[in-house]
Structures are given as structure tokens and as C-alpha cells.
A and B are shown apart, each in its own frame.
Chain A
Amino acid sequence: MATDLLDATFAALADPTRRAILTRLAAGEATVTELAAPFHMSQPAISKHLKVLERAGLVSRGRDAQRRPCRLEARPLKTAVDWLEAYRDYWEESYQRLDALLAELREGDGE
């Protein structure tokens, strides 16, 4: 995936409202009106968040001119999760060595 798009994905995911929108869309497509309802936000405010999500490729809009339903595009999300998992694995080895060391320290501690 292009680096810019990944930046856009992480930036998009940094906001709690946008994460909530994605969670809602994971349950199925929705219109802007339907999305705005639970957030106590105006439709323009929600539309602004949707634009960020669209730019990141996380959301696509339907062709129906009246409703333009939003749907979740899972692939960039999967890529972002892959990065986080790689980062986690990168450090987990170190923490496993720390587990072993702590077990030793506890024994020396008489616990």
C-alpha cells in the first residue's frame, strides 16, 4: 500500500468519532442521516468526518444520488492492523525475555 494512504489511514483512525462511524458501518451500510443520529452531531460535521474516511479509503459511497449510502472498506484497515501486529511482534520478544528475568528475580526474592 502507498505510504500516503497508510498515513491517511492512521490519521483517520486517530479520531474517536471516526472509529465509532467505522464500527457502525461494520454492521452494514448507512446514510449520513442514519450515521449522524447517535452522535448528537450535525450532518455537515458527520460529512466532514466521512470525507476524511473516504480519503483514507476506509469508506466508499453508493451511487444512489438520493441516499449515497456509506459502506466500510476493510482492506486499508487490515493493512493498518498488519503494521500494528508487526510492531507488536517486534517488541514481544523483548518482553518475553523480561518474563524469564522476572521469574528469576521472584525466586531470588523468596516469593
Chain B
Amino acid sequence: MSVVVSTPSERAIVLTRAFAAPPRLVFAAFTRPELLTRWYGARGWHLVSCDLDLRVGGAYRFVSQGPGGERMAQSGLYRAVEPPARLVLTELFDDQSYPGETVITHEFAERAGQTDLTTTVLYATAEGRDRVLRYPMTRGVAESFARLDTLLTEGMDDELDS
């Protein structure tokens, strides 16, 4: 049931994933702050604050904390709120490294009591999309180097101590 990533166009990333719960519950998990804070966030990141006004034109703002205690915030507007089938929102990070607003469309399709989720993330530019696609690996590499640094520093301290 692992998430499947595809890139059907130059500006899009599409994520598909099945969940063992009906769309009603999955939709709730995507739209209720007390539920969102329990799961939302890419590797090492979790929500520390989550405010949203769930109606068309309503605003949201999520603040996440990263593995090193760093914070980042994303905000936007809801463009479509159609429980339990569809949710469309815009996204802009406070310190975004690529131009323009991103449009995120979540589609919750019911299949025998389960949910097939299709999330389409449409970036303003192809360069922005590629940058985001690269981010996890870039970060993975940076983290490996950081660990290596720590290891080397510790190793050298030990050597100096002995």
C-alpha cells in the first residue's frame, strides 16, 4: 500500500495511495486540525500549529517543526471543499525557494469501503516542480554528511582525549 509517485506533466507530481478506511474518515483526517497534527509532515517533520477555515475561499496556515527544531510555515486558501470526495487548496511556503503558488487537489475515491487517494500537486513552473522533487534526496545527502561530520568530530575528540 506504499505511495506511488508519478510525474505526468512538467509541472505536476501525482501521489496515489490506498487507505483502509472510508473516504469520510480520510477526508476528516485531511481537514480537522486535531487529526492533521497527528500525522501530517514529511520525514522528520511534524505540525506544531494548524489553523484552518474549511470553506471555499477560507484560509489555512500550517507550521511544521523539523528534525533540528527548525520551523517552516505554509499557507493558502481552500478552492474546493466537497466532503468526502474532493479537496482543492493553494499552497505557498513562507521561505519558498521556487516562484508561485502551488495548487493541490486531493481526490478521495471509495472502493469497497476503502479509499483510493489521488493527490495532484501542480507547481507554477517546471523548475519549481523539479526542485521539490529533488529536495528529499538533497536533504538525505546533506543529512548523511551532517552525520559523517558528527562522527568525524566525535572520533577526533576521542583521539584527542586518549
A residues at B contact (CB < 8 Å) = 3, 6-7, 10-11, 13-14, 82-95, 97-103, 105-106, 109
- Contact residues of B between 14 and 37, Cβ < 8 Å to A: 15, 17, 19-21, 25-26, 28-29, 35
CA distance A88 to B7 in the complex (A): 12
Q: Give the dominant DSSP class at A's interface.
A: helix
Q: How many of B's residues come within 8 Å of A, CB to CB?
A: 36
Stretch from B78-86, B129-137, B146-154 that touches the partner: B129-137
CA distance A67 to B13 in the complex (A): 38
**Given A98-B29, A105-B29 in contact, is the A91-B42 Cβ separation under 8 Å?**
yes
> Which of A84, A91, A103, A109 has most chain B Cβ within 10 Å?
A91
In the complex, the answer to whether A6 meets B130 with C-beta atoms within 8 Å is: yes
Q: Give the dominant DSSP class at B's interface.
A: mixed
Shortest beta-carbon distance from A104 to chain B in Å: 9
B residues at A contact (CB < 8 Å) = 1-10, 13, 15, 17, 19-21, 25-26, 28-29, 35, 38-43, 126-127, 130, 133-137, 140
In the complex, the answer to whether A105 meets B25 with C-beta atoms within 8 Å is: yes
Shortest beta-carbon distance from B35 to chain A in Å: 7
In the complex, the answer to whether A102 meets B26 with C-beta atoms within 8 Å is: yes
A102: chain B residues within 8 A (beta carbon)? 19-21, 25-26, 29
**Given A95-B17, A98-B29 in contact, is the A83-B133 Cβ separation under 8 Å?**
yes
A84: chain B residues within 8 A (beta carbon)? 5-7, 133
Sort A-B residue pairs by CB-CB distance and give the 4 closest, nearest first: A90-B136, A102-B21, A97-B39, A86-B137
